[in-house]
Amino acid sequence: MAPRCSWMWRLPRCPLLGRNLSTTRRLGAGRSLSSKSPTPQICVVGSGPAGFYTAQHLLKHHSEAIVDIYEKLPVPFGLVRFGVAPDHPEVKNVINTFTQTARSERCNFLGNVTVGRDVTVEELQRAYHAIVLSYGAEDKKELGIPGEKLPGVYSARDFVGWYNGLPDNRYLSPDLSSETAVILGQGNVALDIARMLLSPLELLEKTDVAQPALEALSQSRVKKVWLVGRRGPLQVAFTIKELREMINLPGTRPIYDPSDFQGLGDILKDLPRPRKRLTELLVKSALEEPGEKEAVRRAQCTREWGLRFFRSPIAVLPSEDGKRASGVRLSVTRLEGSGESAVSVPTGETEDMPCGLIFSSIGYRSVPISPGVPFLPRQGIIPNSMGRVLGAPAGLYCSGWVKRGPTGVITTTMTDSFDTAQSLLEDLKSGALNLSNSRPGASAIRELLLLRGVDPVSFSDWEKIDAVETAQGLKVGKPREKILNTEEMLQLVSR
Q: Which of 68, 192, 208, 427 is flagged as catalytic?
A: 192
Q: Which SS3 state, helix, strand or coil, does residue 291 take?
A: coil
Q: Which of 20, 21, 22, 61 is nearest to 40 (CA)?
A: 61
For helices 94-102 and 49-61, angle between their N-to-C axes, nearest 10 degrees: 50
Strands 180-184 and 224-228, by their bridges, are parallel
Q: Which of 88, 158, 175, 260 is flagged as catalytic?
A: 88
Spatial contact of 87 and 204, defined as CB atoms under 8 Å apart: yes
Q: Which of 386, 441, 419, 431 is nearest to 43 (CA)?
A: 441
Q: Which of 267, 347, 352, 411 is flagged as catalytic?
A: 411
Spatial contact of 7 and 443, defined as CB atoms under 8 Å apart: yes
Question: How long, in residues, is the chain?
Answer: 495
CA dihedral sign of residues 27, 32, 38, 39: negative
Strands 325-336 and 311-318, by their bridges, are antiparallel
Three-point CA angle 171, 198, 77, nearest 5°: 50
The yes-or-no answer on residue 427 being catalytic is: no
Spatial contact of 188 and 242, defined as CB atoms under 8 Å apart: yes
Quick one: which H or E segment has residue 155? strand 153-155
Proportion of the chain in helix, strand, coil states, percent, rounded to 5: 40, 20, 45
- Measure the CA–CA gap between 84 and 60, rounded to whole angstroms: 26
Three-point CA angle 368, 369, 371, nearest 5°: 80
Chain centroid to Cα 441, Å, comes to 27
Torsion, Cα 8 12 15 17, to 10 degrees, reads 50
184: left (phi over 0), alpha (psi -120 to 50) or beta: beta
CB neighbours (10 Å) of residue 48? 27
Three-point CA angle 38, 40, 41, nearest 5°: 115
The yes-or-no answer on residue 192 being catalytic is: yes
Q: Which SS3 state, helix, strand or coil, does residue 331 take?
A: strand
The yes-or-no answer on residue 175 being catalytic is: no
Q: Which of 139, 410, 466, 470 is flagged as catalytic?
A: 410
The amino acid occupying position 1 is M
DSSP state of 167: G
The yes-or-no answer on residue 466 being catalytic is: no
Active site residues per annotation = 88, 192, 410-411
